[in-house]
């Protein structure tokens, strides 16, 4: 009598980590139709910037204001998170999170919506600014008793090696009200590089 065949181990591809818990203040769905704001400033040759090359999860350099630092805050298979911004504390702090996740295939509208709904957006209304990007912003956030500007966007882009839509970028940052332009410059740079 033949012995039963031993089970064959199969490789299971796990999705990259979602946020550890549901967002406290997710964005309002569905996104309103809109466009990426043309009035947001861009970096010019007059800006002093730092170019961060070799950030894990990003196959392109990232330009940020000179005083910014980006430190690795988390890593897993298909996931990397950075805390970026100025070292200033309290109401003068500027920055937040830059997160990259793999987007499980097919990275279609349903998958993108589920991933966006898992992100904290201070309870603001999402605005669609292209086929694969939504953002929310406000200059009325109350954080630790201070009024702050907040900008969050979730975008999807094609990996260089596959040519398929397979990555998610989350940009979630706050600044003093007069620091909104600095966040918008970084957001515009990322948009131009990723072509979303």
Residues 149-190 pLDDT 10s: 999 999 999 876 677 899 999 999 999 999 999 999 999 999
Residue 11 has pLDDT above 60, yes or no: no
pTM for this entry: 0.87
Residues 185, 100: Cα–Cα separation, whole Å:
19
The pLDDT value given to residue 158: 87
The pLDDT value given to residue 171: 98
Residues 90-104 pLDDT 10s: 667 899 999 999 999
Contacts of 121 (CB under 8 A, 6+ apart): 23, 25, 26, 27, 136, 152, 172
pLDDT averaged over every residue in the chain? 88
């Amino acid at each position: 009598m033949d012995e039963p065949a031993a089970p064959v181990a199969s490789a299971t591809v796990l999705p990259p980590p979602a946020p550890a818990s549901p967002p406290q203040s997710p964005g309002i769905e569905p996104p309103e139709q809109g466009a990426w704001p043309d009035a947001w400033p861009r970096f010019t040759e007059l800006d002093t910037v730092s170019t961060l090359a070799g950030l894990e999860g990003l196959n392109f350099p990232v330009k940020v204001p000179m005083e910014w630092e980006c430190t690795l805050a988390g890593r897993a298979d298909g996931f990397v998170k950075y805390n970026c911004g100025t070292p200033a504390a309290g109401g003068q702090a500027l920055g937040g999170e830059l997160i990259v996740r793999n987007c499980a295939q097919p990275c279609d509208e349903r998958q993108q919506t589920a991933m966006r709904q898992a992100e904290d957006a201070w309870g603001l209304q999402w605005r669609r600014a292209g086929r694969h990007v939504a953002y929310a912003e406000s200059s009325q956030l109350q954080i630790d008793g201070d009024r702050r500007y907040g900008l969050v966007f979730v975008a999807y882009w094609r990996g260089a090696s596959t040519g398929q839509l397979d990555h998610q970028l989350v940009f979630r940052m706050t600044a003093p009200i007069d620091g909104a332009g600095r966040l918008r410059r970084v957001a515009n740079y990322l948009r131009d590089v990723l072509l979303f």
